A and B are shown apart, each in its own frame.
Chain A
Amino acid sequence: MDLRFHRTILFKLFVFAFSILGLVSATWGIEPQEILSRSLEAQFELDLEGIKKTEFHTHQKDYILTARFIRLGPDFSYLLYLSPSKIKGRMILDDGTSRKDYIPHKKKLRIYPSLNSSLMQQRRRENLELLLTNYTISRQPDEFILGRPSYVIFFIPRYPGNPRLNIWVDKRTYLPLRKERYNAEGKMIASSSFVPFNLRKEFFRESAYQSARRILGEERAPAFPLFYTLQEIGRIVKFRLKVPEYLPPGYILQGASLVDEGMAAKLTYTDGLGVICFFQRSRANIKMRNFQRLRFGSLEGKIRVGEDEKTLVWNKNRMTFVLMGDISKEELRRIAESVK
């Protein structure tokens, strides 16, 4: 009898220990790629409300942005800027189709395709693949953020000179709770996190719509494609499209688009995390402050160096070029030299 009792106790202990081990191994054994993949989708699927804070450390000064953030499922997100005073009141409403960005003091409304549109979902998946190719993803020991156990993932660039990112992902919901972004020199240039954070289901989107009534309307995002191919945009613009022959390692063309009311073409390159934009238009004088002169090849340009991004502007023949990217000054110069 005693033996039977002991055997039952032992069996129960074994089952308990096995299930605990299973639980621990299930969470520890999860691949960082899988965490990322789930996290990318989770940030568009959860119902939550909170205050989000982002700190930017630029060359000139530091900014701290705070915004009230509400997300209800995949087709509603609302962002209301609370500080700094310069942009207080700015609101962004994303209904899954269009993303409306309204700046009240300028009465300026801009409409873009939603960050959760089917096109953007596809781009997110492509981007994740590119990220896994160009970055080593390393999982660090778990930490607590806002009292919630979180996965910690570091993105280390395979090619030196590219930016770096650390991300904390909530273990239960896969929501990214904190992000830290570092430039090529290893300096932290931006960090974002939720301050108070609630997963709320009782929040009604009608009340958010009530506060965002100024930007509601039938206006939708433009129907034209967000990105063109190089051939397509070459046919649309009124000048001969130039393309850089050199790109930093890992960067590929993400797409081309029209900007500045169709006056300029934008070519966007990415390595999954960093972004380089190459703008070109017919000759114009671009007003700049805090710049230095930079000679490259037979040309001279104006360069503005920020912690986060660098901007190089130059003219050639009857064209004006603007190159922006979160890469080193030397890489920027090499790209500009290779524009043919």
Chain B
Amino acid sequence: MKCRRARKKLSPYLDRSLAVKEKLELERHLKSCSSCAHLLWQLERIHNLAQNIPVEKPEPLFYERLCHRLSQKEKAAREGLFRVRWLWPVFPVPRLRKISITVAVLLAVCGSSFYLWRSLSVPQITLRTFEEEYFRSRQMISLTDELILPISDESE
């Protein structure tokens, strides 16, 4: 067994959770490797010290309160997108929060679609402007008459 693998198994060895074969392999390695043996000794000391720390008992109803808080967290996590903390003061009621976010998303989608449609769509124009300009150019020719022909199709 190599040191790297042996060091990973030191904690399970102290917890006595290693299989017999692994335990024997580790013990064989510890006999030949002073470094890993020293590390085991250090871990044993920490373990012993920790055993001596007195255990404090939780307050009464601690577990009930913890369970309640955990269930609340689980519920908030289920709300997903609507778990926006900065909105809580504005819309304290979760339902309002949901509605406001849905409306905002819908507006954004509609707005961007409209912008896309505007930029992609082709404007409709008539020939009138061009016809007027053409006849104006004709007027600038010295021998053309001053009276302008009315644009041929007013309704266009």
Contact present for A79 and B147 (CB under 8 Å): yes
Q: Does A98 make an interface contact (CB < 8 A)?
A: no
Q: Does B75 make an interface contact (CB < 8 A)?
A: no
Contact present for B125 and A287 (CB under 8 Å): yes
A284 with B123, Cβ < 8 A, contacts A190-B145, A275-B134 known: yes
Tell which of B21-29, B65-73, B87-95, B135-143 binds the partner: B135-143
Contact present for A287 and B141 (CB under 8 Å): no
Contact present for A275 and B154 (CB under 8 Å): no
Q: Out of A40, A266, A308, A322, which one reaches B127, CB within 8 Å?
A: A322
Q: Out of A63, A69, A192, A285, which one reaches B123, CB within 8 Å?
A: A285
Q: Distance in Å from the Cβ of B104 to the closest Cβ of chain A?
A: 34
Complex Cα–Cα for A45 and B121 (A): 52
Q: Out of B122, B140, B153, which one reaches A123, CB within 8 Å?
A: B140
Taking CB atoms, residues of chain A closer than 8 Å to B123 are 284-285
Tell which of A14-22, A51-59, A141-149, A217-225 binds the partner: A51-59
Q: Distance in Å from the Cβ of A247 to the closest Cβ of chain B?
A: 15
Closest to B126 in A: A287
Taking CB atoms, residues of chain A closer than 8 Å to B133 are 259, 266, 277, 279
Taking CB atoms, residues of chain B closer than 8 Å to A270 are 137, 141
Q: Distance in Å from the Cβ of B70 to the closest Cβ of chain A?
A: 60
Taking CB atoms, residues of chain B closer than 8 Å to A92 are 146
A324 with B124, Cβ < 8 A, contacts A58-B149, A58-B152, A115-B139 known: no
Taking CB atoms, residues of chain A closer than 8 Å to B139 are 115
Q: Out of A165, A286, A309, which one reaches B143, CB within 8 Å?
A: A165
Contact present for A120 and B140 (CB under 8 Å): yes
Contact present for A324 and B134 (CB under 8 Å): yes
Please count how many residues in chain B sit with their CB below 8 Å of the partner chain's CB atoms: 28
Contact present for A65 and B134 (CB under 8 Å): no
Q: Does A243 make an interface contact (CB < 8 A)?
A: no
Residues of A58-84 at the interface with B, using a CB-CB cut-off of 8 Å, are 58, 60, 63, 65, 67, 69, 77, 79, 81, 84
The main secondary structure of chain B at its interface with chain A is: loop
Contact present for A273 and B150 (CB under 8 Å): no
Taking CB atoms, residues of chain B closer than 8 Å to A165 are 143
From A67, A77, A165, A289, name the one whose CB has the most chain B CB atoms within 10 angstroms: A289
Complex Cα–Cα for A203 and B106 (A): 70
Indicate with 1 or 0, residue by residue over A259-287, a CB within 8 angstroms of chain B CB atoms. Answer: 11000101010101101010100011111
Contact present for A289 and B142 (CB under 8 Å): no
Contact present for B125 and A192 (CB under 8 Å): no
Q: Does B74 make an interface contact (CB < 8 A)?
A: no
A40 with B142, Cβ < 8 A, contacts A275-B134, A289-B156 known: yes
From B125, B133, B143, B149, name the one whose CB has the most chain A CB atoms within 10 angstroms: B143
Tell which of A4-12, A124-132, A232-240, A293-301 binds the partner: A124-132
Q: Does B130 make an interface contact (CB < 8 A)?
A: yes
Q: Does A162 make an interface contact (CB < 8 A)?
A: no
Q: Does A35 make an interface contact (CB < 8 A)?
A: no
Taking CB atoms, residues of chain A closer than 8 Å to B145 are 54, 179, 190, 192
Taking CB atoms, residues of chain A closer than 8 Å to B129 are 259-260, 264
Complex Cα–Cα for A69 and B153 (A): 26
Taking CB atoms, residues of chain B closer than 8 Å to A290 are 153
Q: Distance in Å from the Cβ of B52 to the closest Cβ of chain A?
A: 83
Q: Does A86 make an interface contact (CB < 8 A)?
A: yes
Complex Cα–Cα for A7 and B79 (A): 132
Could you write out 20 A-B pairs with CB less than 8 Å apart?
A52-B146, A63-B149, A65-B149, A79-B147, A87-B150, A115-B139, A131-B143, A192-B145, A259-B129, A266-B133, A270-B141, A273-B143, A275-B141, A277-B133, A277-B134, A277-B137, A284-B123, A286-B127, A287-B127, A324-B134
Q: A92-B146, A179-B145, A287-B126 given. 10 additional CB < 8 A pairs?
A: A54-B145, A58-B149, A79-B147, A87-B150, A277-B137, A279-B133, A286-B126, A286-B127, A287-B127, A324-B131
